[in-house]
Amino acid sequence: MKLIKLLSIAAVAATLSFGYQPSAKAGETFALDKPHTQIKFSVNRGGWSRVAGWFTKFDGSINFDEANVGNSSVSATIDTASLDTGFAARNKHLRSPAFFNVKEFPTMTFKSTKIEKTGAKTGKMTGNLTLLGVTKPVTLDVVFNRKAPHPRNKMMFAGFTATGKINRADYGMKFLIRAVSNEVQIEIQALSVKK
């Protein structure tokens, strides 16, 4: 018993002497460059046209493992009251309990659960979107645009485009479901800077 204990202590000491540390998270961490990132949505209105909107306040981070994309991850938080469609009356209506109900649900969140590479610069990202207190899985098509240092400040930037769709009724947003399409198209132009 004493011999086993001594061997255990020796093994721990040897491990420490070689400077063992748990492996760090793979990839590089990027923060969204907010002035150059757009989170947009659009919906068909009565078959006549598409109404588009966007959010002006949000935060997010990307852990990007270029060598093994499956190790990457994304998380984001969006201020729902920051939505804008370019028309004040419509903005007010969309912020009301009939749609985003921003007083009760001031944020929506997205956290990736799986990212898979589908081509040289394409992939699919699945994650949990929480909106109006409801969490549902969403899959977005992602294009890796570019990673390169900025020519002026030399900081490393990475750019991505993500597109997809959700059904708003899945989150309880059912007002005017026939007049305004249930399907909402999403487009994200994300520029991020390495932390």
Q: Where are the domains of the chain?
A: 25-194
Range 112-140 average pLDDT: 98
What are 41's two structure tokens?
């949505």
Cα–Cα dist 40/57, whole Å:
12
Q: What is the pTM of this model?
A: 0.84
pLDDT of 10 > 90? The answer is no
pLDDT of 7 > 50? The answer is no
pLDDT bracket for residue 13 (50, 70, 90): very low
Residue matched to tokens 């270029």: 66
pLDDT of residue 111: 98
Which stretches within 74-170 are classed as H helix? 88-95
pLDDT of residue 52: 98
Assigned CATH for 25-194: 2.40.128.110
Report CA-CA distances (Å) from 98 to 29, 38, 107: 37, 25, 16
